[in-house]
């Protein structure tokens, strides 16, 4: 067999010099909230199905949802739903070719975090 010379190549430095940006972080958060909405939807579906089946099963899940842990869960679920909604709207705007400048995209990413929080707090105050 031929003698193979291995070339010592440097490792890619992207992990040492890369700084997370608002646009990438907000895009990652849209994906995370989209994935988080799957089990959230299953738990809410469990709540509705328990209401349709029997009083005992509904009392169990309703007791969980009305506890402080359940309220915290619903608060997080509302925030995830609003954030994902705002992220999808941002992508629709980008698909039409608007707000593609870096400065505007950064402001939209910040507005998504603030907007999701404000909408969640308004939802809690109204309900």
Residues above pLDDT 90, as percent of the chain: 80
What are the phi and psi torsion angles at 2 (to 5°)?
A: -75, 150
Query: Is 124 a residue whose pLDDT tops 90?
Result: yes
Give per-residue pLDDT as tens, 12-66.
666 667 778 888 899 999 999 999 999 999 999 999 999 999 999 999 999 999 9
pLDDT of residue 17: 72
CATH number at residue 60: 1.20.1300.10
Distances (CA, A) of 125 to 28, 73, 83, 99, 120: 29, 16, 18, 32, 9
Query: Is residue 9 in a domain?
Result: no
Query: Is residue 44 in a domain?
Result: yes
Q: What is the overall mean pLDDT for the chain?
A: 91
Query: Is residue 107 in a domain?
Result: yes
Query: Is residue 72 in a domain?
Result: yes
pLDDT of residue 5: 74
Asked if 103 and 70 touch (Cβ cutoff 8 Å), the reply is: no
pLDDT of residue 126: 95
Q: How confident is residue 105, by pLDDT bands cut at 50, 70 and 90?
A: very high
Asked if 33 and 83 touch (Cβ cutoff 8 Å), the reply is: yes
Q: What is the domain range of residue 121?
A: 23-126
Question: Considering its fold, how many domains does the chain have in total?
Answer: 1
pLDDT of residue 20: 83
Asked if 37 and 84 touch (Cβ cutoff 8 Å), the reply is: yes
How far is 39 from 73, CA to CA, in rounded Å?
11
pLDDT of residue 7: 76
Query: Is 1 a residue whose pLDDT tops 90?
Result: no
Which pTM value belongs to this model? 0.82
């Amino acid at each position: 067999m031929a003698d193979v010379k291995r070339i010592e190549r440097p490792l890619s430095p992207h992990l040492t010099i890369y700084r997370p940006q608002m646009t990438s972080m907000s895009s990652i958060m849209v994906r995370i909230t989209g994935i988080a909405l799957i089990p959230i939807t299953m738990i809410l579906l469990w709540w509705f199905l328990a209401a349709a089946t029997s009083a005992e099963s509904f009392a169990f899940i309703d007791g969980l949802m009305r506890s402080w842990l359940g309220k915290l869960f619903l608060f997080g679920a509302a925030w995830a739903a609003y954030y994902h909604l705002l992220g999808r709207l941002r992508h629709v705007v980008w698909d039409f070719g608007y707000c593609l400048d870096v400065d505007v995209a950064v402001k939209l990413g910040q507005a998504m975090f603030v907007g999701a929080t404000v909408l969640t707090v308004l939802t809690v105050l109204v309900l």
